[in-house]
A and B are shown apart, each in its own frame.
Chain A
Amino acid sequence: MSRRRIAAFAVFATLITTVIVVAKPAAVNAANVDVRVPTDPNEILEKSQGQPARRKGRAAAPTVDEAVSLAQAEIDAGRASGDPRALGRAKAALGAHWDDPAAPASVVLLRATILQSLHEFERADAELTGLLARSPENDQARLTLATIRTVRADYKYAEAECPKLGDALSAAVCLGNAWSLTGRSAAAEVKVGEALGTLGQGGAPRTRAEIVWAISSLGEYAERQGARDRAEAYYRKALQVSPSDPYVLRAYADLLLDLGRPAEVLPLLALYTEQDALLLRVVVAKKRLGQTGAVTVARELAERFAAVRLRGDRAHLREESWYEREIVGDAARALTLAQENWAVQREPADARVFLEAARAKGDLAATAPVRALLAETHLEDPTLLALARSTP
């Protein structure tokens, strides 16, 4: 090639490169590349939930009772499906009653339930404390408050108040949870087992949710005693009663992972991956099985975490910590998340992610608050204790 040709070629190449670099964003309108305009009017975009209930009833302002039953229906639906949108809709259904300091007990209870689900434990606690000061006989408030305090590792309230509950099964599980978390899981298992045994013997009729709550609690008590076979039997029984219960699915999946049976987690959760906590278990199982699909699913989960973080929610910290440690491999970030989570909730599962993250990072000093709580409560959970001993 002659020198002139080379020079001309160089000029062209530079020009083209410059233009491609400068023009790229405008040329494809990069900001909107994901937007599509379907050509087929029959293309199905999304499932519908039917005609909105609120629009039908918009003509007249709902009474307190109507608002409460609408909100309760949203909460029940959300609990069954694990869909957090239900909470916001329940809150909206309460309308002005949400901010009414003189609202009736039914409204206060719902407010506390919603706040608890949002992990706003202090505000929920305040609502219930206020309600119980006004009407000390309100058992639902007592039970909910005992549950919140137990989650926050304050077991004295449950020990004192659960026995006062009029309903025997609720009283047994309420107390059993506190016992099991303070080194008395065997006694808890006996107590709740007895209360369940009286079912159908002239006792009060039970909702499915109550039975599942009791049986899955038995599973946890058994796990803490190191009786994993018995725990598995309880979880399976609970799933027979309610096959899609998000709480039981999670507990059973965790047990299977601990038992080194990740392959069984996949069919168990296959239908429920819309819930982030359950998708995490799927990702972990796939990774432990060495499945190639793990990467794709992990990316999907990361997108979901990012979306939740973008909106400013902090309800996922426990799951995110596990994800960062086992899937991403960032122990430092996992520990930070576990510490932030520990400030909000202190159940054994929270202790577990904390200890695992600290061990991965090799940071013994960080585990002091968890060790202190384990020592103070005499929690029996062998997995947790072994982890505490071996950290780091």
Chain B
Amino acid sequence: MKRTLHVVALLLAALAFFAPRLAHAHKASDSYLTLTPHGDTVDVRWDIALRDMDAALGLDESGDGHITWGELQAARAMLTEWAFAGLALSVDAGACKVLTGDAELGTTTHSDGAYATLLARATCPGDATRLTVKYTLLFDVDRLHRGVVRVKGGADDTIFVLQDSAREHTFEGVAKASPLHFVREGIGHIWSGIDHLAFLFALLFPAVFRRQPDGKWAPVPRLRDAAVDVLRIVSAFTVAHSITLGLASFGYVSLPSRLVEATIAASVVLAAVNNLRPLFREQRWGVAFILGLVHGFGFSSALADLGASRDTLLATLVSFNVGVEVGQLSLVALFLPLAFLARNTQAYRRVVLQAGSAAVALVGAVWVVERAVGLKFLPF
């Protein structure tokens, strides 16, 4: 989630530069609460006006008449606690628990000015098909304040406005997370997971060549040869990560996530270096299988983050895995024809295969260090 936020922040900063706005509207106070249930967890997005937070808590620590991002960040823990004290979510089986410690803070704009955005996750004791929202935020400061609550669930999208005189509402028939949802998450995980991308590309760069007995690369004559090679590699990778993803999701095996993440980074280095200096010869699918076992543990922690319901874990697992496959195949489909057309050029060989692999190896090496010692050097 954080990674997406960074990318989006850059895009929006660029947009904001070109779109001057008028003075912000004078408007009565509203907060915008968006709840997205997945099984027994609920994704919470809450936009609260900085003016309202300021009136309730006092955010201008420096007293210069402005609220800065630094001041907002410094108050993060306090305002997260304050905000979620004004919200209670429950399902039929009991009260949900908002994981306020993991809440992320951002900022956005509505018609009446800047808002703080809190992104958090709630875990519930059962599926959130009937979700009750009890809302008490800000009524002590502004009795005309309203909470615009939106519950997203599959195709359904319901809005209910809570106010001082009506502070509670039960959203009925919130759709269960559809298998398609997890397919999408799987695809999204591949496309936005830069380490998986790096690994895949490291495997794909040489797919339009054959290794000669002397260790040099020669272009393949037909697209089908390249496709068959890639298919073999991707299938091996898939079978392998499906095994470990299943084992980890059902709780049979559990590895420390730092080890898993560092090993995934190491696999990226390995795959990239193999393009420069032959390490495994023609057994690249075997390597893909072994490395796939490691990546499966990585997928399982991503899946756990999505909050799959325990009752439907198998279906979720299959859906997510299908998504991962579709995500991979789509990259292959995008890349392979282009690579095939360019395979005879010096540019492909020098820039993509040699320099590209070297770059991936370098980045992967930094990741290994970062993840092994728990430090951060790269912005991604």
- B155-187 vs A, Cβ < 8 Å mask (1 yes, 0 no): 000010101000000000000000010011101
| Residues of chain B within 8 A of A87, CB atoms compared | 28, 144
Let me know if A310 and B107 touch, CB within 8 A: no
- A293-335 vs B, Cβ < 8 Å mask (1 yes, 0 no): 0000100100110011011110000000000000000000000
Question: In whole angstroms, how far apart are the Cα atoms of A150 and B144 in the complex?
Answer: 26
| Residues of chain A within 8 A of B146, CB atoms compared | 311-312
- The interface-forming segment of B5-13, B242-250, B270-278 is B5-13
Let me know if A47 and B67 touch, CB within 8 A: yes
- A91-105 vs B, Cβ < 8 Å mask (1 yes, 0 no): 110000010000000
CB distance from A87 to the nearest CB of B (A): 6
Let me know if A33 and B8 touch, CB within 8 A: yes
- The interface-forming segment of B113-121, B290-298, B350-358, B364-372 is B113-121
- The interface-forming segment of A220-228, A274-282, A346-354, A360-368 is A274-282
| Residues of chain A within 8 A of B72, CB atoms compared | 45
Place the interface of chain A in its size category. 35 or more
Among B66, B161, B333, contact of A44 (Cβ-Cβ < 8 Å): B66
Let me know if A41 and B70 touch, CB within 8 A: yes
Question: In whole angstroms, how far apart are the Cα atoms of A81 and B25 in the complex?
Answer: 12
Query: Any chain B CB within 8 A of the CB of A376?
Result: no
- Nearest CB to that of B34 among chain A residues? A31
Let me know if A46 and B144 touch, CB within 8 A: no
| Residues of chain A within 8 A of B55, CB atoms compared | 49, 52, 54, 89
Query: Any chain B CB within 8 A of the CB of A8?
Result: yes
Question: In whole angstroms, how far apart are the Cα atoms of A310 and B59 in the complex?
Answer: 27
Question: In whole angstroms, how far apart are the Cα atoms of A88 and B137 in the complex?
Answer: 13
Question: In whole angstroms, how far apart are the Cα atoms of A275 and B54 in the complex?
Answer: 21
Let me know if B187 and A27 touch, CB within 8 A: yes
Question: In whole angstroms, how far apart are the Cα atoms of A34 and B13 in the complex?
Answer: 10
Let me know if A98 and B54 touch, CB within 8 A: no
- Nearest CB to that of A41 among chain B residues? B70
Count of A-B contacts with CB under 8 A?
233
Let me know if B141 and A273 touch, CB within 8 A: no
Query: Any chain B CB within 8 A of the CB of A29?
Result: yes
> Which residues of chain A (231-289) have a CB below 8 Å from chain B?
273-276, 279
- The interface-forming segment of B202-210, B260-268, B308-316, B324-332 is B324-332
| Residues of chain B within 8 A of A29, CB atoms compared | 1, 4, 8, 188, 192
| Residues of chain B within 8 A of A88, CB atoms compared | 28-29, 142-145
Query: Any chain A CB within 8 A of the CB of B57?
Result: yes
| Residues of chain B within 8 A of A26, CB atoms compared | 184-185, 187-188, 191, 323
Known contacts A9-B337, A85-B29, A311 near B148 by CB under 8 Å:
yes
Let me know if B28 and A85 touch, CB within 8 A: yes
- Nearest CB to that of A56 among chain B residues? B58
Question: In whole angstroms, how far apart are the Cα atoms of A61 and B184 in the complex?
Answer: 53
> Which residues of chain B (40-77) have a CB below 8 Å from chain A?
45, 50-52, 54-60, 63, 65-70, 72-73
Question: In whole angstroms, how far apart are the Cα atoms of A29 and B333 in the complex?
Answer: 23
- Nearest CB to that of B49 among chain A residues? A46
Q: Apart from A27-B187, A42-B69, A45-B50, list 14 A-B contacts with CB within 8 A.
A: A8-B337, A22-B184, A25-B184, A27-B188, A27-B191, A32-B106, A37-B2, A42-B68, A52-B57, A85-B51, A88-B143, A88-B145, A297-B22, A304-B111
10 contacts across the A-B interface (CB closer than 8 A): A31-B152, A35-B108, A37-B5, A41-B70, A45-B114, A51-B58, A85-B27, A85-B29, A276-B26, A312-B161
Residues of chain A whose beta carbon lies under 8 Å from any beta carbon of chain B: 5, 8-9, 12, 15-16, 19-20, 22-23, 25-29, 31-52, 54-55, 81-85, 87-89, 91-92, 98, 118, 273-276, 279, 297, 300, 303-304, 307-308, 310-313
Residues of chain B whose beta carbon lies under 8 Å from any beta carbon of chain A: 1-2, 4-6, 8-9, 11-13, 21-30, 34, 36, 45, 50-52, 54-60, 63, 65-70, 72-73, 105-114, 117, 119, 139-146, 148, 152, 159, 161, 163, 180, 183-185, 187-188, 191-192, 223, 323, 326-327, 329-330, 333-334, 337
